[in-house]
Structure formats: structure tokens, C-alpha cells
Amino acid sequence: MPIDIEKDDVPTALKKLKARENSFRLLESISRLGSWEVDLITHQSIWSKNSYLIYDIKPFSIQPSLEYFLSHLLPEYLQKAQQIIKELMQTRQPQTFQGKIKTDAGNIKSLLINSQVVCDADNKPIKLVGTTQDITQQVKMEQKSKELSSIVEESASEIYIVDYKNDNYLYANKAALNALEYTKEEILQLNIVDVNRELTIEGIATLKKEYEQINSPYISKQVIHTRKDGTSYHVQSQLQKIVYEGKDAYVIFSSDVTQNIKVSELVKKQSKLLQHRASHDELTNLANRAQFQEQLTNAISVAKKEGSSFALFFLDLDHFKDINDSLGHHIGDKVLQEFSKRLSKCIRAQDTIARLGGDEFTVILHNIAKLSDIATVANKIIDAMKIPVKIASNILHITTSIGISIYPEHAQDKASLLKFADTAMYKAKDKGRNNYQLYSTGMTAYAYKRVIMENSLRMAIKEEQFSVYYQPQINIFNNQLAGMEALVRWQHPTLGIVSPIDFIPLAEDLSLIVEIDRIVMKQAMKQFSAWSKHGLYPGKLSLNLAMQQLQQNDFISNLFNTMKECDFQKGWLELEVTETQVMNNPMHSIKKLQEISDNGISISIDDFGTGYSSLAYLKKLPLSKLKIDKSFVDDIPNDEDGMAIIRAIIALAKSLNLGLIAEGVETEVQKEFLLENGCECVQGYIYSKPLPSQEMRKFLETF
């Protein structure tokens, strides 16, 4: 929104400026474009965040300069850059420079730099401004294109390109010119019947009609080529329709089979292989991103013509980063291959699947008659992932979050359909993962809110806008305080207290949970130590441990360094891990948790009963306690099945010599049931809600 000079007050104008700046920075990030300026008077430089990232530098960690740019150029580009700068100052005209740099991290990058001189009122240069774009991938693609062109030109096979309308030659490679003994200029003056003299105009028309009717990208035919001197030879030719220099054409791959007919077959296979590789993902053999775009274009075209509907599924594997980080990319690749196989079995032959990259997949369901068809397929996919995946010695539980958009109900263009499906997928993740969500108009605002929340969350970590609340854990056998659970709260500067349910899933998706966990850990340990020094007995400190935290190489060392810094004893600490997270990769979890346990720290399983624990793995985990999930406690005394599950969990814990605690206890009836059945500890509103440290101290003094 533009600034209204007459109506806007200063704060409003500043907000609008900030919004415009944020939009500009977002566009910079999307386009991988960095902006910069050099003050020619003070020689000071200013770079945008993206400029630093292009140079593999932490944003704003150094004072950039023109000399810094020149010093990182590869030697062969230095003189060219200096000449460009000289021309800028002399002509005052915009200049473009393309060259390569070597970053401090050792990466070679190709850059495209556009620059302009800014002059004062006296036409004196006072600034250089411009943009820097990382075009490394584009340069590689151009190089690859040149290499492919060279392969075509230098190919031993004869390759021709012919105008589809008038059958005149448009191109012939070296092998073709040598075989026919024509020059390039001569061949471009000829028609296909001049070389294939057994063909007639009618015969060519019949051949084209046959090509248009067959369900194949090419047609194969054995013909006779006539050289310039009148002699002839047999060739096996493959014809394929293409677009060449903006016009319809067909390419002909021809091989001399007079001596060796096996050479035709090689060209045919090479052509197929190149086509397949260009349109398919190498790991899963599914359609790749480029082919998906074509599939989606075709789906829209057909649906528009027939007046039909189709659904676009956007799928993302839940916690896939954890698998790559903990077990390695070779295991992650196996998971992606297994996922793609199961996904393929869930759809019809006429539907299409693609892998966009990483752990992102798409499915296009054609000719959707009713919403229940979409739900059937989505549930089929989710159910297909319930069987654990065994890779080497690892038993992995794979789940997926699915977002769905529908043509034409939600959108009629490719970009919007994909964006809406992606937005719905993130909604599915926020709903707890392992589910599907249909796009709704409200999700657009949700997606915007998510971006705002992400920026705010990063700022919150930087400024440590988090505080710790504590909820008492009471031993109901003797009515004594057993300990307390540390629970994070976000003290947002404008929104006030933000509940964990509103930001923890986002922090996990963005891999920010590790930093938040460490902030909470340090605050809680300092507070516990302070209470103990004042003669208060807080019992055990129960800290939630995110699996991403557990997978950090420096977790153990950081944990003990923090304990030492806070004068916190390891016997005071109990780490809670959720059942679902542990069972996603039980063998890795057992190894890491055993290392923690060996260092004298207690470990408990949180939300027990909601996951899919294997008793065989449960016995191997170095546990001290099970925490019964609130969802079972809520049903007391109205749900016999829920109470039966609680009795079973208590019996299991006793048989394994594990402690027990139930969370979410709010009524005397619930408490008495747990007491009668042997659950020694409870946590919930029956004793106290989570309290800030000042109120928790009062609780300790009076309990």
C-alpha cells in the first residue's frame, strides 16, 4: 500500500515502508538476487542480506567493499571488471558484468552484475548501485546445452532437421554432410525428396498422417539416401516431431545399415534414454519437476475442454530431515524409493505421480466425480505408509502430510493450484501430520500468517523472548512434590503470551526447535539451582527433548556444559522424549538415549500409549518412567476402554520396573482411580496449572 503523505502519520508511514522493504527482501530471496551500493565519496558499501549469502558469508558479519568484490574474482575476470568500472564512470551508462568468484568457503560461483552510476545535481558521480545474481546453475545449464549441441553435431549418426510444412532441410550435422557429400549451404537448399528419391509428395503426406495417428513420439523407417554423386546407401531412420527455432519441424536420426544394421538400434536407444532422463527423476524413476509442469498443463487443458475436474495432491514426508541427519542420505534415498513405490500402488493407471525434489511429491487425480473419491485415495495413501519400512538394521515409521487443491473449484492456473495444495499441506502438518487437508480460502490468510510468524519466531530466538513455566508433579502415595515439568512460553512483544501449540510445530519444521530447547534448558537449570540454594526442594526437573536436539553432534557436550555453568546437578534432571519420535527410528534412539543414561540422567517416555511402541524396543530403551497421555486420563470415569488401557500401561510399567506419571489430571475421581491402580505420580490442574517462576517459588514455600 503506498504512503499517503497527507493522511498517514509517522508510525503508519514507517509500517508501510517496512512492509515494502520486507516485500522487496522477499522478492530478493525468491529471485536469488542481491542488491548493493558503493558510496564514491566515503567508499563505504552497503549489501543486502542476499548479497552476503551469495558470497557464502553470514549476513552483516563484515563491512563489504568494492575491494572485497575485486579480491574474490578469479584472476581471468579482474581486468574485465576494472574496465567495466572505468566505463561506468566515464559514460554514466548502465553496465553488465558476468564473471566468476571464489568465496571464502571455497565455492566457485558465476555472477551476473548490473550496475549504474548515481550522480548529484552537478552530474558528479556519488554512488554506484546495482544487483548481483548467482547464475551458477544457469551457466552450468548453458554449458550442458553446448555440450549436448556438440554431441549432436559430432555424433557418428546422421542427424537432420526438416521443416514440417514444406519438407525443406533446416539442419544437418557433420556426419550427414559427410555421408551425402554436400556442404552445409547446399543441403539447406534441398528438399527431403532430393535425398530420399524413392519418396513422393503423396508418400510423405501418408507418412505424416501415420505419425500423427500412432501413440509414439517417433516413427521408424528404412529408406535409401542418394549422395551428391548419385550413389546410394541404405539407412535406418527415426523421425520425431519437434519445435525448432520457433517452427514445427521433425528431426531424423539416420544410420548407415549397409554394413552394420546394429548402429540404428544404438541411436534409437540413446534418443529414448536422453528423453527419459530429461523428464524423469533419477532416484525414483518418477516424473521430475519439469515433466510435472507439463503434466499439470495437460491436465488443465483436458479438464477445461471436457468440463471435468481433477485434484492435485502435494505430499511431504513427515520428519524426513531427521532420517537424513541421523542415518545418512543413503538411507534417506532408500526411504524415498520405498515411498514412491507405495504411492504408485495407491492410484489408477491414468493418474500421474511426480517427485518435485527432496521429499516433495505430487499426484494428479484425473476425472474426479465427487469429493469422496479424493478422500478415498488420500486415506489409501496414508494407510499404505502404516507398515514400517526396514532398511538395513533400521525399522522406520514413515508418515506423510497431504495438501489437496481442486481444479476448477480452487484455481484454474498451475501456479495457484500448486500454491494452494502446498498451503493445505502445511495445514496438515499443523494438524499433527499424517493426515490430509483440502484447501480452503481461509488457508491463504493462514499461509501469510505463517510467514509473519516465522519471521517473528526467528527474532524471538535472537532476542530470547522465551520464559519458562513450571507445572508441579505430585507423588499421590505420600502427597509430596516429586518434581516439575518445564514448559516454554513465548513472550511476544505485541501478542503477549503465545502458547507452545501455536509455535512449536513451526519451530520443528524450520529446525529452530534446537535453539529454543537450549534457551529453555539454560533458564530452567539456573532457576532450579537458585531455588536449591535458597533451601527449597523442587524435586526433579523434567525437560522435553526434541528429537532434532538429540540428533545434534554436540548435544551431550552442550548439556553438560550448561549444567556446569548453572551449577546444576545431573541427578536433578529427567529428559522426556515422545513415544512417536522414538519409534520413528528406535535403533538410533536407543543408542543415543543409552549414552545419556550412562551419564546419570533419567529418561521418560512422554505421551505414552498414543504411538506404536514395540515391546521389544521398549525393553531396550534406558527408561526410568512412563508418562500416561492426557487423552486417556480425560476419559475417566466415562470410558471403560480408556481406563482399561491405563490399567494395562500401569501393569506394563510395573513389570519393567518403571516409574509412572499421569498428565492432565483435573478431578478427584481421576486422581483416585490412578491411586487405586498404582500410578504414583500425577500432573495437572488438580494441583496447579503451569506457573511462572515467581509463582512457582510461592508454591514451593507453601506445599
d(C-alpha 50, C-alpha 57), whole Å: 10
Whether this prediction's pTM lies above 0.75 is answered by no
Nearest by Cα to 507 from 574, 430, 575, 578 = 430
β-strand pairing of 573-578 with 602-608: parallel
Beta strands in 654-696 (DSSP E): 659-663, 681-683, 691-692
d(C-alpha 492, C-alpha 512), whole Å: 17
Which pLDDT score, from 0 to 100, does residue 588 have? 72
Cα distances (Å, whole numbers) of residue 146 to 45, 51, 177: 37, 29, 20
Q: Which stretches in the chain have pLDDT values below 70? A: 1-32, 259-263, 265-267, 444-448, 583-586, 609-617
Q: Residue 202 is placed in which grid cell?
A: 503423396
Which pLDDT score, from 0 to 100, does residue 12 have? 58
Which pLDDT score, from 0 to 100, does residue 17 have? 45
d(C-alpha 285, C-alpha 402), whole Å: 21
Q: Residue 641 is placed in which grid cell?
A: 476402554
Cα distances (Å, whole numbers) of residue 497 to 431, 489, 509, 543: 21, 6, 21, 20
Beta strands in 245-399 (DSSP E): 247-256, 310-317, 352-357, 360-365, 389-391, 394-396
| DSSP structural state of residue 388 | P
Q: Which domains does the chain possess?
A: 32-140 (3.30.450.20), 155-278 (3.30.450.20), 289-440 (3.30.70.270), 453-702 (3.20.20.450)
Amino acid identity of residue 2, one-letter, is P
d(C-alpha 99, C-alpha 77), whole Å: 6
Which pLDDT score, from 0 to 100, does residue 366 have? 95
Which pLDDT score, from 0 to 100, does residue 13 have? 46
d(C-alpha 480, C-alpha 635), whole Å: 26
Angle subtended by helix axes 329-344 and 320-327, to nearest 10? 140
Characterize 132-142 residue by residue with b for buried, 16 or more Cβ atoms within 10 angstroms of its Cβ, and e for exposed. Answer: bbbbbeebeee
Summary mean pLDDT of the chain: 87
Render pLDDT for 299-346 as a digit per residue (tens, 0 to 9).
999 999 999 999 999 999 998 887 887 788 899 999 999 999 999 999
Which pLDDT score, from 0 to 100, does residue 590 have? 79
Q: What angle do CA 130, 136, 137 make, to 5 degrees?
A: 125
Q: Residue 668 is placed in which grid cell?
A: 478427584
